[in-house]
């Protein structure tokens, strides 16, 4: 078994940034959970699970994200058929359907994690 990955290790960060095909906004490295998924359970039944940074490359590969969600990088799920994703071109955050049509069905939720949280705190 290999050594555990330390996502706060500068070498891991450099390898992660080199492995993705877009420029990740700097503040996202601070906001994304590093070791374990982070769950947000909001009033009104809204829910978001942000996947751990150490798992993002594999998850995007497993979902065949480049083909199925072109222009987006998946970072989490609402466990209800939708993903939370970063638009590669702009760095903006979207809720996108796991099954649907992009970009028509993509819902813009903000330009930062703070705006994402504000969106999720709004009533249905």
pLDDT value for 9: 78
**DSSP code at position 69:** S
124 versus 108: the higher-pLDDT residue is 108
> 10-121 has which CATH code?
3.40.1580.10
For the chain, the farthest-separated pair of C-alpha atoms sits apart, in whole angstroms, at 46
In angstroms, the CA 107 to CA 93 distance is: 9
pLDDT (tens digit per residue) in 60-108: 999 999 999 999 999 999 988 999 999 999 999 999 999 988 888 999 9
Burial class (CB in 10 A: 0-12, 13-18, 19+), 111: middle
Sketch the domain layout of the chain as residue ranges. Answer: 10-121
- % of the chain at pLDDT higher than 90: 60
pLDDT at 3: 53
In which band, very low, low, confident or very high, does the pLDDT at 7 lie, cut at 50, 70 and 90?
low
């Amino acid at each position: 078994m290999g050594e555990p990955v330390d996502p706060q290790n500068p070498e891991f960060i450099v390898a992660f940034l080199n492995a993705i095909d877009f420029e990740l906004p700097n503040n996202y490295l601070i906001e994304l959970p590093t070791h374990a998924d982070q769950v947000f359970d909001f009033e009104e039944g809204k829910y978001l699970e942000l996947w751990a940074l150490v798992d993002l490359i594999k998850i995007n590969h497993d979902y065949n994200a480049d083909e199925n969600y072109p222009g987006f990088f998946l970072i989490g799920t609402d466990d209800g058929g939708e993903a939370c994703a970063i638009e590669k071109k702009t760095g903006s955050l979207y809720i996108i359907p796991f099954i649907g049509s992009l970009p028509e069905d993509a819902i813009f939720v903000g330009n930062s994690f703070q705006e994402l949280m504000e969106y999720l705190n709004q009533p249905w």
